Structure 1
Amino acid sequence: MELISVSPTATAPSENFTGTVYVNPIYQGTGESRMIVSLVRFTPGAHTNWHWHAVGQTLHCTDGLGLVVSRDGTVVHLRPGDTVYTPPGEQHWHGASFTNMMSHLAMLEETADGASTTWLEPVSDEEYAAAHRA
């Protein structure tokens, strides 16, 4: 057994996020484990760029109101307790609603060669607004 101390809160990089987003890394796998877990807090209106994950991603909403949107137009409105899985290669974005913060646990794995997330272009204001209407 190993106790992992709380890590400092970091601001998410502006090249991959719109708005203010805070990240607390929880776990980074070692040895056989390739699991990565982070608590991510989005301020109102904040969201990720379009991106995809080599081994998929699981998001578990812990607080607030948010969205997960896939490139095919599917929109999931997140509330506390909701869990969304995006399969490997599915292009998507996620973040807070216009009016509320949203926090989620982001859980994903790296491949054996260390690949995990491929970042793409920012979500346009029109795409972000349209997701709220869906």
Structure 2
Amino acid sequence: MAQSAKPTSPQAPTQGPESYFTGTVWITTLAGPNAQTDCVVSQVTFEPKARTVWHTHPNGQILLATKGTGYYQEKGQSIQIFREGESVTIASGVEHWHGAGPTGQFTHIAINPNVSKGGAVNWLQAVTEEEYNAPH
């Protein structure tokens, strides 16, 4: 007989560490890894101009924009505007960053699958001001 799922409450928001983010970022873990889904689901809120550092995901990632307008960029590509209601599916190993635009707060849901098979993220170097302000 299958085990019953029990509702869980999200953790309190924590501020993203400076080693992984530029600017103020709040992370709320909505669902941690478990035997049934093996994924981490988080709500991430970026203050204006805040962003991740360049990074990759060993098993890919799905981002769902839920509030505001943000930026998404893959290494070697132009910055893409990322709007509320849109999603981005990121293949495993693709170097990228994401965050808020210059004038407003931006929130997305991040889904990191298969975390038992290589972890959720590999953090790299900071996104420079020149990279952040590049034409898009």
TM-score normalised by structure 2 residue count: 0.92
* Structure 1 residues 35-85: Cα deviation after superposition (integer angstroms, max 9, x where no partner): 110000000000000000001011000001101100022322111100001
The aligned runs of 1:2-81 (5 Å cut-off) are 2-81=6-85
Structure 1 SS opposite 2:133: helix
Give the equivalent residue in structure 1 for 2:92.
88
- Alignment partners' CA distance in 2, 1:74 and 1:59: 18
For the aligned residues, what is the CA RMSD? 1.2
Structure 1 counterpart of 2:131, from 124, 127, 134: 127
Q: Which moved more, 1:27-36 or 1:108-117?
A: 108-117
CA contact (8 A) 2:50 2:99 kept: yes
Q: Which amino acid aligns with 2:13?
A: T
5+ residue gaps in structure 2? none
When normalised by structure 1's length, the TM-score is 0.93
- Deviation (angstroms), 1:34: 1.3
Tell me the equivalent position of 2:122: 118
Deviation string 1:5-34 (CA, Å, 9 cap, x unpaired) is 131110011100000000100001212421
Structure with bigger strand share is 1
State the structure with more CA Rg. Answer: 2
* Distance of 2:6 and 2:78 partners within structure 1: 40
CA deviations 1:74-119 (Å, max 9, x no partner) are 3221111000011000000000001111000000124434422100
- Matched positions, count: 132
